[in-house]
C-alpha cells in the first residue's frame, strides 16, 4: 500500500526506518506528501512499524 503522509515540510528530508526489517531510507518531504510511502506486508498475520524523523 502507498501512504501519503500529511503535515510534513516539503522542503525537508526525512529518515524513514522500517523496524520490522531494519531498513532505513532518506526521502524528501515533498515526495512523501505527493507520492507517498510504499509499505508492503508479505506474511499474514503481520504488522509494520515505520518510524520517521525530520533531518534537515
What is the distance between the alpha carbons of residues 9 and 50, in angstroms, rounded to a whole number?
A: 18
- pTM assigned to the model: 0.83
**Residue for cell digits 506486508?**
41
Residue pLDDT, tens place only, 9-56 = 999 999 999 988 888 999 999 999 999 999 988 888 989 999 999 997
25: three-class secondary structure by DSSP: strand
Burial of 31 (0-12, 13-18, 19+ CB in 10 A): middle
What distance, in Å, lies between the first and last C-alpha atoms of the chain?
A: 27
Q: Identify the DSSP state of 40.
A: -
The runs of H, that is alpha helices, within 1-56 are: 29-34
Q: Where are the domains of the chain?
A: 2-47
Amino acid at each position: 500500500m502507498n501512504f501519503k503522509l500529511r503535515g510534513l515540510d516539503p522542503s525537508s528530508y526525512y529518515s524513514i526506518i522500517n523496524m520490522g526489517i531494519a531498513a532505513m531510507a532518506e526521502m524528501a518531504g515533498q515526495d512523501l506528501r505527493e507520492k507517498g510511502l510504499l509499505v508492503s506486508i508479505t506474511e499474514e498475520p503481520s504488522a509494520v512499524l515505520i518510524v520517521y524523523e525530520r533531518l534537515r
